[in-house]
Chain A
Amino acid sequence: MQEIRVTNYPEVLVDRPTHYCPGCQHGIAHRLVAEALTDLGVVDKTIAVSSIGCSVFLYNYLNLDTVEAPHGRAPAVATGVKRARPDAVVFTYQGDGDLASIGMAEIMHCANRGERVTVIFVNNTVYGMTGGQMAPTTLVGQKTTTCPGGRCLEREGAPIRMSEIIASLGGTTYCERVAVNTVKNVLGAKKAIRKAFQYQLDGKGFSFVEVLATCPTNWRMTPVAANERVATEMIPYFPLGTFKDIAATEGA
Chain B
Amino acid sequence: MSERVFLKGNEAIARAALAAGMRCYFGYPITPQNDIPELLSAELPKAGGEFVQAESEVAAANMLLGAAACGVRAMTTSSSPGISLMQEAISYMAGSELPGVIVNMNRGGPGLGDIGPSQGDYYQSTRGGGHGDYRTLVLAPGTVQEAYDLTMLAFDLAFHYRNPVIVLGDAILGQMKEPVTPHAPARTADPEAASWCLEGAVGRPGRIIKSLFLEDGALAGQNTRLAAKYQAMEAEIRAEQFLVEDAELVVVAYGSIGRIAKSTVRKLRNAGHRVGLVRPITLFPFPSAMLRALADQGKRFLTIEHNLGQMVDDVRLAIRTVADSAFHGHLPGNLPTPNDFEAPILAALGADH
**Cβ–Cβ < 8 Å partners of B210 in chain A:** 50, 59, 66-68
The interface centre, meaning the residue of A46, A63, A84, A109 with most chain B CB atoms within 10 A of its CB, is A84
CB pair A80–B66 under 8 Å, yes or no, is yes
CB pair A80–B206 under 8 Å, yes or no, is no
CB pair A84–B50 under 8 Å, yes or no, is yes
Q: Number of residues in A with C-beta < 8 Å to the partner? A: 36
Bound-state Cα–Cα, A77 to B64, Å: 7
CB pair A44–B207 under 8 Å, yes or no, is no
**Cβ–Cβ < 8 Å partners of B89 in chain A:** 70, 73
Knowing A47-B198, A88-B200, A105-B56, the reply to whether A80 touches B62 (Cβ < 8 A) is yes
* Size category, B interface: 35 or more
CB pair A65–B66 under 8 Å, yes or no, is no
Knowing A73-B89, A80-B66, A83-B50, the reply to whether A105 touches B58 (Cβ < 8 A) is yes
CB pair B23–A65 under 8 Å, yes or no, is no
Bound-state Cα–Cα, A66 to B88, Å: 19
Number of A-B contacts (CB under 8 A): 145
Bound-state Cα–Cα, A134 to B55, Å: 27
Q: Tell yes or no: A45 within 8 A of B by CB.
A: yes
CB pair A63–B201 under 8 Å, yes or no, is yes
**Cβ–Cβ < 8 Å partners of B211 in chain A:** 68
**Cβ–Cβ < 8 Å partners of A126 in chain B:** none
List CB contacts (< 8 Å) of A156-194 with chain B.
none
CB pair B63–A79 under 8 Å, yes or no, is yes
Q: Tell yes or no: B74 within 8 A of A by CB.
A: yes
**Cβ–Cβ < 8 Å partners of B74 in chain A:** 80, 84
CB pair A62–B206 under 8 Å, yes or no, is yes
Q: Tell yes or no: B112 within 8 A of A by CB.
A: no
Bound-state Cα–Cα, A46 to B198, Å: 9
Q: Can you identify 10 A-B contacts, CB atoms within 8 angstroms? A: A68-B92, A70-B88, A76-B58, A76-B66, A84-B23, A84-B67, A84-B69, A88-B198, A105-B55, A105-B56
Q: Which residues of B contact A (CB under 8 A)?
A: 23-24, 26, 50, 52, 54-56, 58-60, 62-72, 74, 88-89, 92, 96, 198-203, 205-212
